[in-house]
Structure 1
């Protein structure tokens, strides 16, 4: 009986580890993925709001940790990197220096907007100061915006082209400049 219980415990633990790996792992969808010709043609003529490449990114209006209002549609004409995160998320903490570096590197060419999920303004402000974050962070205090973007794990990044359409979606931490640049290549004008 004890051996059966140990086997069952090991199976449950293995399943939990696999599921945790799935949540922590990443999934990338970009505008260059292969899709059937009919789907590609339909995507180019539709005005679907969603998070698949080619969809119009869902609009939102949120307040930053400093009280300013940000409306996504007002950023049209510029590429946008939306980065969904939280202060408690260890992978978000590892990713923030890369996001900050890219925000500085592409200043004037790219709007980087952090979207903190369900935390207080004071907690986010303190965290931003401690981590030297200079890009704006809006507060998704009820989680409605992250839900509209289908965010199921943190961090998640949505790369939006100047026309307001999704160029790429990345779930998981972006941990290098080269990885960030691969994603940004989907939305930045080529020089």
Structure 2
């Protein structure tokens, strides 16, 4: 009988310790996010930086697109909704590339995988590869696909998670006419 109580007390202590550790981890993550400048992504605020080299070898820097609306789309080759929306994004970009810029960001795939994907799906726009997830982290991407509209002044104007199914959704996100 004493053994059972002692076992339960030990188990309760372990569970309590684990709960404290989880709370500390959550608090530390929150503190770190707010203190390192990643904490304030919100509509109306300046969009987080995105920079790197895309699959065509060109330098991409969000700051270079000031003065134009920008669509930032995070995706991965293993994400079925992402795969389904890519032809729509490509077609819309081909039709209206004079009215907005596109930064397509692949999260987690290798350059080879991305290039094979683009070729297999006949996608014409270059893609920035975010193998480490740093850009996705700055935008607090929690699910894919994730799409963000940045206004001409560089502020986040709209955000959405999930598959885009119609060109009108893209135009509405960007607040431009079809």
Report if TM-score (shorter chain) is over 0.5. yes
Contact 2:150–2:174 under 8 Å retained in 1? no
Give the Cα–Cα distance (whole angstroms) in 2 for the partners of residues 61 and 86 of structure 1.
Answer: 18
Q: Deviations over 1:146-181 (max 9, x none)?
A: 001000100000100010001100111111122222
> What's 1:132 paired with?
122
**3-state DSSP of counterpart to 1:142:** coil
Per-residue deviation, residues 10-47 of structure 1 (Å, max 9, x unmatched): xxxxxxxxxxxxxxxxxxxxxxxxxxxxxxxxxxxxxx
Match of 1:179 among 144, 169, 176: 169
SS in 2 for 1:112: strand
Rounded Cα–Cα distance in structure 2 between residues aligned with 1:105 and 1:52: 29
* Alignment correspondent of 1:67: 57
Change (3 A) 1:135 1:50: farther
Aligned partner of 1:38 in structure 2 is none
For 1:71-150, list aligned pairs within 5 A: 71-150=61-140
TM-score, normalised with respect to structure 1: 0.69
Deviation at 1:119, TM superposition (A): 1.0
> Greater helix share, 1 or 2?
2
Q: Unaligned 5+ residue runs, structure 1? A: 1-47
1:50 deviates by: 4.2
Deviation at 1:101, TM superposition (A): 1.5
User: What's the Cα RMSD here?
Assistant: 1.8
> Does structure 1 conserve the Cα–Cα contact (< 8 Å) formed by 2:70 and 2:174?
no
* Residue correspondences, number: 141
Label 1:50 to 1:129 Cα distance change in 2 as closer, same or farther (>3 A): farther
